[in-house]
Amino acid sequence: MRTRRGISYPRRGVAVNACNTAAEKRTSSTTYNRGKPDFTAGEYMVCRKRNRLVSTGKKGETDLFESLPDDLVISILCKLSSSASCPSDFINVLITCRRLNGLGLHSLVLSKASPKSFAIKANNWSDSAHRFLKLCADAGNAEACYTLGMIRFYCLQNRGSGASLMAKAAISSHAPALYSLAVIQFNGSGGSKSDKDLRAGVALCARAAFLGHIDALRELGHCLQDGYGVRQNVTEGRRFLVQANARELAAVLSNPDSGLPTRAWLTWNPHAHPNHRHPSENGPSGCPLLSDFGCNVPAPEAHPASRFMTEWFAIRGGSAGSGLRLCSHTGCGRPETRKHEFRRCSVCGAVNYCSRACQALDWKLRHKEECAPVERWVDEDGEGGDDAGGVGGGDGDDVMVES
């Protein structure tokens, strides 16, 4: 047993011998140390106190934790991993003892782990973090498959392995994985421009939208409205956009921590900002639900995979490579896998997006305050020439119209 200072108490036999030795020293030293301070009496009292504090536990007494069955411990660890709010909540249990470490890495426990339990920061990325994510993915954790797939595909540039992990999550009806695969198909990510498969992208978007993914539903509405990868149906596309806006608003209003006033979205004015050049069909008092960009509500919390990619490329100077751009939406983090892969804003040409969903979110967050026509933007910079009219006219750039 240890004291607060870290000093170990001696065993009973050792303590008794020490006390006897101290007593003998006291009697033998009286003839030689007359007139000098004597500390042997104090040492004797300390030894007696230590003797009383020695543990008197019975031999053969077992630890109650060791008597718990493995099934019960695994069930408790499953609850812990599924409710962990950060990686340390789960990792601290694994390093407690050998038994918890072994049972904590059980496939059933790892399959229940929440996204926040392996929300690793980019500056803490290591081989051990990679192995832990791989263990969770091998255990069948769809969130781990999606997170590791995004990291491998975009950050580690292991396209095949990353896509296969996202496909594994998509097979388990993981909506973000389905939508990410749709973005890859729309952009032809990891390949050339000819590798775009618009029909596959629409099919993946439809599946993710069916599972309740708001960004996928908005993307599907734009595809139907523009005839992009599917037969054009403006009415059905507008209906999907209204549904996406309504779901987005309902998700915010149902969250008690959103801080959004109940009627704040009703006071939205489509002509409040001078740069807004997209009049509503219903006039100035139109409902924001009918807008392509939805209501003026706070942005949803970014997925841990998106935050990781944002931090990863921020550490590397905010670029994915020579001439490669990042999605301008701060909560996305996706980089281009080839030059001119993403589509630029057709009005200002200063921003580029990997998808319509990122465009809509970034418009509400900041871009509607910054977007200006190309001519005005060029004049303010003091530049001119024929290059001003070339926005969206590059070989790989598709025009992204904000409408």
- Residue 13: CB atoms within 10 Å: 9
Task: Say if residue 294 is in the same domain as residue 322.
Answer: no
**pLDDT over 60 at 286, yes or no:** no
**Left (φ > 0), alpha (ψ -120 to 50) or beta: where does 140 sit?**
left
| Domain-terminating residue out of 298, 319, 354 | 298
Task: Say if residue 294 is in the same domain as residue 321.
Answer: no
Q: How far is CA 340 from the centre of its chain?
A: 27
Task: Say if residue 244 is in the same domain as residue 332.
Answer: no
Q: Which residue has the higher pLDDT, 129 or 270?
A: 129
61 inside domain: no
398 inside domain: no
Q: Residue range 235-259: average pLDDT? A: 83
Q: How many domains does the chain have?
A: 2
245 inside domain: yes
Query: Of the given ranges (156-165, 233-242, 258-267), which has the lowest mean pLDDT?
Result: 258-267
Q: For the residues of 233-277, what is the DSSP string, one character each? A: -HHHHHHHHHHHHHHHHHHHHT-TTS---TTTGGG--TTSSTT--
Burial of 70 (0-12, 13-18, 19+ CB in 10 A): exposed
Task: Say if residue 253 is in the same domain as residue 359.
Answer: no
Tens-digit pLDDT profile for residues 132-186: 999 999 999 999 999 999 999 999 999 999 999 999 999 999 999 999 999 999 9
Coil/strand/helix, residue 192: coil
Identify the bridge partners of residue 326 per DSSP, sorted by sequence position.
335
* CA–CA distance, 178 with 142 (Å, rounded to integer): 11
Task: Say if residue 294 is in the same domain as residue 309.
Answer: no
Q: Are the C-beta atoms of 190 and 167 separated by less than 8 Å?
A: no
* CA–CA distance, 51 with 115 (Å, rounded to integer): 52
Tens-digit pLDDT profile for residues 2-55: 544 455 555 555 455 555 555 555 555 544 445 544 545 555 454 554 444 444
At a CB cut-off of 8 Å and minimum separation 6, what does 149 contact?
A: 161, 162, 163, 164, 165, 166, 167, 168, 169, 177, 180
Task: Say if residue 234 is in the same domain as residue 210.
Answer: yes
Alpha-carbon torsion angle 352, 356, 360, 365, nearest 10: -40
β-bridge pairing 399-400 and 343-345: parallel
Show the tokens assigned to 165: 């992990």
* CA–CA distance, 202 with 93 (Å, rounded to integer): 43
CA distances from 349 to 317, 328, 330 (A): 22, 11, 17
Instruction: Find the CATH number of the domain harbouring 226.
Output: 1.25.40.10
Q: Are the C-beta atoms of 352 and 334 separated by less than 8 Å?
A: no
Coil/strand/helix, residue 345: strand
pTM: 0.72
| Domain-terminating residue out of 236, 271, 298 | 298
Task: Say if residue 250 is in the same domain as residue 349.
Answer: no
Task: Say if residue 344 is in the same domain as residue 294.
Answer: no
Look up the domain containing 213 and give its range.
Answer: 173-261+290-298
Q: Which residue has the higher pLDDT, 102 or 264?
A: 102
